[in-house]
Structure formats: structure tokens, C-alpha cells
Structure 1
Amino acid sequence: MRLSSALLACGLLVAAASAASADSRVFIVANQADGYGVDECLAQGHKCGAHAARAFCQSREFAQATTYRRVEPDELTATVPNGGGERCLGPSCGEYVAITCQR
């Protein structure tokens, strides 16, 4: 009886943790130089980008940013416009940052 109660409690905790972590979203945003270095902090995953990433998530009604990093050009799909019919690979192409927000 005790063992089954303990297993049930563990199962409920796992289910609750899964439901809580399931409410997250990845945002792909343009990484534009602003003169303050925030773009480099976000793109390089430095600690200085944590505040900017958290503010970004909170502005979209999420509680926190769990990760933020530069997105490599080969990770992008055709859904990101590059101004023409070809894939953008040169230095004039914009850089993007992925920010994962969680409720």
C-alpha cells in the first residue's frame, strides 16, 4: 500500500513537471547591432544577455528566458525572408538569435 502511494505521488510529480515545462516557445529575432553590445551578449550567450532575453520574454507574457543563442544560417528555413529567391549566406545577411521563453 505504501509503495503504490509513493509511486502514484512520483507519477503525479513527473506529470506536473512535464506540463509546466511544456509551455515554452522559441522566438527567432533579428540580431541587430544597437551600439550597446546587447546583440553580442545575446548572440554569444554571455551573461550580459540574460537581462535582455528575460525582458524580451516578459514583454511577451513569459516568466523567464531559459536559453538564448545565435542561430546559424543553416538552421534557418525558407520561412525567414532574405530579400530574394536565393539563400542568404554573405556578410550582408542579417544574423538571428533564438530566445527560448518559458511560462
Structure 2
Amino acid sequence: MRSLFALMSCAFIVAASSASAETRVFIIANQADGYGIDQCLARGEKCGAQVARTYCQSRDFAQAAAYRRVDPDEITGSVPKTGANCSHGRCDEYVAITCQR
């Protein structure tokens, strides 16, 4: 009886922790900032880790699981293309940041 109770308790804890784990991908414009942070994020380099983590934390997530450049073709919906209103000529570049709670 005791082992059945322990097994049920473990199953409940595992189910509860799985349900609370939430992952969300944010697509943001990859804008040149003059510091190279945009390239750190786009290339998935270590130098972008703090920026990605800060971005996730600003949206009430605990951590950034991943970050990378995204092609506009990968994004569902309307995405603006490079045009006359683009100040730096690279408006069609985006970064995906995967955040986890």
C-alpha cells in the first residue's frame, strides 16, 4: 500500500511539472544596434545569450532555450519586405527567441 501511494505521488509530481513547463517562440525584427548584438542573436553565438535571456525575462519567462535567425519565408502571415521605409536596408531579417518558464 505504501509503495502504491509513493508511485502515485511521483506520477502526480511528474505530471504537474510537465504541465507547468511552457515554451514560446518570439519572432522579433533583427535590427542593427551598433554593438553587434543583432549578429550575436542571428548567428546563435554565445554573445547573444544574455540578450535572449533578458528578452525572455522581460516577458515573465525564466530562460531563453534558443535563439537564431529566421528567414521571412518561415514566418506565417504578412512580413514586411525591405523597402523605402527601411532605415538600415535589412528590414527583412528576423530572430526567433525560444523562451521557457
State the TM-score, normalized to the length of structure 1. 0.76
Match of 1:68 in 2: 67
Q: 1:5 to 1:100 in 2, by over 3 A?
A: same
Match of 1:13 in 2: 13
Match of 2:4 in 1: 4
Q: 1:78 to 1:39 in 2, by over 3 A?
A: same
The answer on whether the counterparts of 2:62 and 2:99 sit within 8 Å (CA) in structure 1 is yes
Alignment of 1:1-103 (within 5 A): 1-22=1-22, 24-82=23-81, 94-103=92-101
Question: SS at the partner of 2:16?
Answer: helix
Question: SS at the partner of 1:94?
Answer: coil
* C-alpha separation in 2, matches of 1:92 and 1:31: 8
Q: 1:83 to 1:31 in 2, by over 3 A?
A: closer
Letter in 1 for 2:26: F
Q: How many residues align?
A: 96
Letter in 2 for 1:4: L
Q: 1:21 to 1:46 in 2, by over 3 A?
A: same
Deviations 1:18-76 (A, max 9, x none): 12213x32110011121211111111111111100011112222222121111123311
**What are structure 2's unaligned runs of at least 5 residues?**
84-88
* C-alpha separation in 2, matches of 1:47 and 1:54: 11
Task: State, as a whole percentage, how many aligned pairs show the same letter.
Answer: 65
Post-superposition shift, 1:98?
0.6
Segment of structure 1 superposing worse, 35-44 or 54-63: 54-63
Q: For the aligned residues, what is the CA RMSD?
A: 2.3
